[in-house]
Chain A
Amino acid sequence: AQKITQTQPGMFVQEKEAVTLDCTYDTSDQSYGLFWYKQPSSGEMIFLIYQGSYDEQNATEGRYSLNFQKARKSANLVISASQLGDSAMYFCAMREGRSYGGSQGNLIFGKGTKLSVKP
């Protein structure tokens, strides 16, 4: 079973509008972290935001927020006021905490969502 599922292979959004990128996860751990990375066409991986499983507040970083719904096991990324520079691949990832540093501590990635921002 996939640990991280991103159901939207590609999405379009109009410049200045908000967009939500979906991510669901599967884990039996109580302690875990959820991450979002951006990959522009140049290829580098850019860290955007993270959420800990015990965090009660949704994480926010500038125009990025993480809509964390623990019971649903979802960790959707919300980008407000989209910009042309937001066009990129976006990856959701999870790190389980059962035994950090062993195989359970690895970052597990979804397959990504390609976001295109239209002017």
Chain B
Amino acid sequence: EAQVTQNPRYLITVTGKKLTVTCSQNMNHEYMSWYRQDPGLGLRQIYYSMNVEVTDKGDVPEGYKVSRKEKRNFPLILESPSPNQTSLYFCASSPRGGPVTEAFFGQGTRLTVV
């Protein structure tokens, strides 16, 4: 089954404790991205990757890191989480193919930083 898998689905952590949210897709997509969703703000892009070893900042990259060592995986790293990073996070992937290509979303990770 074609899918984007995020783990964990729910995470409660303390300020400053490094964490990683994993994202994996099995569709051989080149393009992957991370979004955060906050009430009243919609989804905002954190980082994206056009292919292996190619990553770039989105609209709200501060406090986050990513890596793309393999095509299928695109982990999101919070080196020192803070309470303002409490949010719902989505990973998405798309094939290369122009503007009318669907983005496939993971199920989301609800992160709480206390």
Chain A residues within 8 Å of B, Cβ to Cβ: 4, 29, 31-33, 35, 37, 43-45, 47, 50-53, 91, 93, 95-97, 100-103, 105-107, 109-112
Contact A33 B99 (CB under 8 A): yes
Closest 7 CB pairs of A and B: A97-B99, A33-B100, A45-B105, A33-B99, A52-B100, A111-B42, A109-B43
Interface size counted on chain B using CB atoms at 8 A: 30
Of B14-22, B74-82, B88-96, the stretch lying at the interface with chain A is B88-96
Q: Which residues of A contact B5 (CB under 8 A)?
A: none
Interchain Cβ contacts within 8 Å, total number: 77
Q: Which residues of A contact B31 (CB under 8 A)?
A: 101, 105
Contact A100 B98 (CB under 8 A): yes
Q: Which residues of A contact B56 (CB under 8 A)?
A: 102-103
A105 to B49, CA, bound (A): 11
A35 to B110, CA, bound (A): 24
Chain B residues within 8 Å of A, Cβ to Cβ: 30-31, 33, 35, 40-45, 48, 50, 56, 58, 88, 90, 92, 96-105, 107-108, 110
Contact A97 B98 (CB under 8 A): yes
Contacting A111 at CB < 8 Å: which of B30, B33, B40, B45?
B40
Is the contact region of chain A dominated by helix, strand, or loop, or is it mixed? Answer: strand
Q: 4 extra interchain contacts, Cβ-Cβ under 8 A, other than A35-B102, A45-B105, A105-B31?
A: A43-B108, A50-B102, A96-B99, A101-B50
Q: Which residues of A contact B42 (CB under 8 A)?
A: 4, 91, 109-112
Chain A's closest residue to B31 (CB) is A101
Contact A53 B99 (CB under 8 A): yes
Q: Which residues of A contact B92 (CB under 8 A)?
A: 45, 107
Q: Which residues of B contact A109 (CB under 8 A)?
A: 35, 42-44
A106 to B99, CA, bound (A): 9
Contacting B99 at CB < 8 Å: which of A4, A32, A44, A47?
A32
Contact A107 B107 (CB under 8 A): no
Shortest CB distance B76–A (Å): 16
Contact B105 A95 (CB under 8 A): no
